[in-house]
Copies of this chain bind each other. A is one copy, B any other.
Amino acid sequence: MRERFHERLDSFAGTLGTLCELSGTAMRLATAALLNTDLVLAEQVIDDVGRIDRLALECEENAFTLLALQAPVASELRQIVGGIHIVADLGRMGGLARHVAQVARRRHPDPVLPEEVRAEFAEMGRIAVAMAATAGDVLAGHDPERAAGLGVDDEAVDEMHGRLLVHIAGPDWDHGVQSAIDVTLLARYYERYADHAVQVGRRVVYLVTGLNPPADTRR
């Protein structure tokens, strides 16, 4: 029974890795759909995230079964409870990628982004996807050092987000209010995505070290 438990626990951890990968892919494709005004790709992302939702729910149920199956020892318990939080963050990352795809779909066949902010979004997308990959590595290797790098990337996204809002509100913006609304919300989605990736890293650090309870970045 103990062996069966460990198999399940490994499978639970494996599914977290898969969810992380899927959330990264979803944001990569959503960003491509946004930049290339690609309706087919946007719709694919929206479908894909439906699968992420289902897998996240399944993963949550597995955590429950693990807790019910046999009283886990403290370190296993920490891993399962930490995993429950991580599933929530990864599911939300998928949801934010879906938001990006939805904006691209809503404006199609018009491009959402004015030329002058395309590079910023390409870069925010690149960093966000890299953060999901880092979070996946941290999850797989339980490597707290790499988790610190997530904080650096998050700051970069925050700065880009702040600069974008200043630019939109400034005198050079001549794309009207609808476009400003789209860009404001899109920038917010990337910023939140990065926040959740940081949270995943924090949770893993907490699992490994038991130190630094995960301060929530409720921004």
Q: Give A33 to B173 CA distance when docked, in angstroms.
A: 30
Our pick among B77, B94, B180, B188 for the contact of A67 (Cβ within 8 Å) is B77
Contact present for B53 and A216 (CB under 8 Å): yes
From A36-44, A84-92, A127-135, give the one contacting chain B.
Answer: A84-92
Copies of this protein in the complex: 2
Min CB–CB distance A91 → chain B (angstroms): 6
For A184, the chain B residues whose CB sits under 8 A away are 180-181, 184-185
**Nearest CB in chain B: distance from A207 CB, A:** 12
Give the residues in chain B near A98, CB-CB below 8 Å. 218
Main secondary structure on chain A at its contact with chain B?
helix
Q: Determine how close the nearest CB of chain B comes to the CB of A174; give it in whole angstroms.
A: 10
Q: Which of A2-10, A56-64, A113-121 contacts B (4 or more CB under 8 A)?
A: A56-64
A68 at interface, CB cutoff 8 A: yes
Contact indicator B218/A92 (Cβ below 8 Å):
yes
Q: Judge whether B218 and A94 touch: CB under 8 Å.
A: yes
- Classify chain A: how many residues form its interface, as a range: 35 or more
In the complex formed, the residue of B with least CB distance to A218 is B95
A70 to B77, CA, bound (A): 12
A168 within 8 A of B: yes
Contact across chains for B57 and A213 when beta carbons are under 8 A apart: yes
A140 at the interface (CB under 8 A from B): no
* Distance in Å: Cβ of A218 to nearest Cβ of chain B: 3
Contact across chains for A67 and B81 when beta carbons are under 8 A apart: yes
Instruction: Write the A82-109 contact mask toward B (1 if CB under 8 angstroms, else 0).
Output: 0011001001101100110000000000
What B residues does A61 contact at CB under 8 A?
213
Contact across chains for B53 and A218 when beta carbons are under 8 A apart: yes
Residues of A within 8 A of B (CB): 49, 53, 56-57, 61, 63-64, 67-68, 70-71, 74, 77-78, 81, 84-85, 88, 91-92, 94-95, 98-99, 165, 168-169, 173, 176-178, 180-181, 184-185, 188, 213, 216, 218-219
